[in-house]
Structure 1
Amino acid sequence: MDHTEKIKAEILAVGCSMLDKGLIAGTWGNISARIPGTQFIAVTPSGRGYRELTIDDVVVVDEMGTVIEGGLKPSSELPLHIEIYQARFDVQAIVHTHSVFASACAVAHKGIPPIIEDLVQLVGGGVDVAAYALPGTERLAKNVVAALSIKNAVLMANHGVVGCGQSLTEAMMACELVEKAAQILIYANQLGGAQVLSDEDVEVMHKFYVEYYRQRQQGRKI
């Protein structure tokens, strides 16, 4: 299996996992990843059920969004994916979900502060909210990139979550951790309010993740 087929297969697995974990409903959400050794990006097609997708259904586009391979229309959120990849050369994969608790925060236009260790380790701090714009628009893409900054997750106002990573596994985990943290935040606020981790502790924990834990997950020697 070559790099393109491998990435496409991983995208299919992530799509089914999003459904299994309740992070999306129906055909909503989208997934993409850079194809190693190329300047191309594999992305889910628009409006297709994840369980019915085949490897051939996953669309390949160039860095400008032009379709290179595949007979289906790419996700309507392709401009968002392209904008992130152009701004963040470290990002290799993007997962967009509509999970319930994180979306509640997005609807309230309330970011998720750095309240829990696993979130800040992977994401790099709290999760900010990108200003609202219509789905699929260039304005939304630019708003997301601005709010994402150098972190690995962002909330989209009145919409959902975008998780980024150096692999599809990491991008998916970012979305899962955002959902978990959003649920904890909502519950903690019912108990009198969440206590926020210090900037210094956030920096230490994120550095540990980047320099040690990520390499262990990827099977690298440290």
Structure 2
Amino acid sequence: MITTERAEDVLIVTLDRPERRNALTPSGLDALEAAVTDTDAPVVYLRGAGDAFCAGADLDVVADLEDPRAFAARGQVVARAIADSESVVVAGIDGAARGGGVELALACDLRVGTPEATFAETGVKLGLFGAWGGTARLPRVVGEGEAMDIALSGRIVDAEAALRMGLISRITDDPRAVADELAANDHGALGVLKRRLRDDDGRTEQERREADAFADLHAAAEFDRT
């Protein structure tokens, strides 16, 4: 489900489950956390296999959760591992990012999309929401107004709109080249700059409340498995 390849100073991490649009299971979350923490590469490039970046959590897993609060908290830990990684993490988004896939991208230090990149927080249509830190990160990235629009509508945001609101910083046919560009810079400076720009307090309580709210909604949700 998660594959890694080292290309000089860049570790390429691939969400490799294209038949499920790279949707993540608990074991996939574990593997992703290990990939971004167990490396000395100055730059990590996170991508999806096939025609999607990541569809978020596997809905078959979500429907059968015995402890939705713990599942939300686990996703938050993985997103936090990406944000707190010693490496600079670049998300290369080619195709769809949905729900938890958007949240994993938000945790990355830089998000670069192809012209085919699209984003949506579709959980609201299912009576849920992505609970991997997105309610804290999304308004910080795009502003409260845009975050409310994206989260409450569930609408699909295309690459040009994502660029305008700051959800991605560039549109390019080759997002991987941006990771290589960063890796060519001084590695010590990259790390220091990331830590200073990431300096943030108060998120733990926000994440706890997010997980609680997800668990409450999950208890009332009805899942269509057709």
TM over 0.5: no
* TM-score between the two structures when normalised by the length of structure 2: 0.25
* TM-score between the two structures when normalised by the length of structure 1: 0.25
Higher helix share: 2
Higher strand share: 2
